Amino acid sequence: MKYIMGILIVLCCAVAMVSSSVFANECPMGKDGVGPQYGKMARGMDKDNIFFYKAHFVMENAAELGLSNEQIEKIKTLKYGIEKNSIKKDADIMILALDIKEALGKDETDINAVNALIDQKYALKAQKAKEEMDACVSLKKILTPEQLKKMKEMHRKGPKGWGKGPDAAKVPMAEMEERGE
């Protein structure tokens, strides 16, 4: 009995050690030690989320940008509409992926049917990406030219002390040119 308990304890310890290293990559601070709110930006933005990042950035800095209540409501409406549409499209894409998996699992696979499902899946992904890019353009149209310029300057400086953007070195030079130095 003691022998079996000893084996069970050793196995539990081994599982705990292995699982801790597996879950380490899912740490809230991310693999590179950057927080989740800035993690993807630090590693290169996921192209599917550009609109949501921009909308969040604008809303987070609404006071500093001087957004009116009307602009805030337009941005919220746009964001919620795109978010709902994105959820629906993602669900349809997942369903098509399951349909492809099911079609491939049959004894006799109809390659034309599989190809048609693949075409549908990627047509939905393309449509989703295009709608999100349209939303980015719509977001810019909601802002005044001054607000858009200020947003770009704020973005170059980096999110509230979290480093500098790729054009950060150009900011002091631009300020010096404005002052005539």
Does 133 reside within a domain? yes
Q: Are 162 and 38 in contact (CB under 8 A)?
A: yes
CB 139 within 8 A of CB 54: yes
In a domain, 151, yes or no: yes
Q: How far is CA 11 from CA 4, 7, 8, 22, in A?
A: 11, 6, 5, 16
**Number of domains observed in the structure of the chain:** 1
In a domain, 178, yes or no: no
Q: Is residue 162 part of a domain?
A: no
Picking from 15, 101, 26, 53, the residue whose alpha carbon sits closest to that of residue 93 is 101
pTM: 0.59
Residue 142 counted as domain residue: yes
CA angle 62, 85, 70 (to 5 degrees): 30
3-state secondary structure of 167: coil
Distance CA 56, CA 135 (A): 13
Does 20 reside within a domain?
no
Assess if residue 169 is contained within a domain. no
For residues 92 and 132, give the distance between their C-alpha atoms in angstroms, rounded to a whole number.
16
Residue 81: which domain range?
47-156
* Residue 170 within any structural domain of the chain: no
Q: Is 103 in contact with 118 (CB distance < 8 Å)?
A: no
pLDDT tens digit at each of 181 positions of the chain: 677 766 767 665 566 665 555 445 444 444 444 444 444 444 445 566 788 999 999 999 999 999 999 999 999 999 999 999 999 999 999 999 999 999 999 999 999 999 999 999 999 999 999 999 999 999 999 999 999 999 888 888 765 544 444 444 444 444 544 544 4
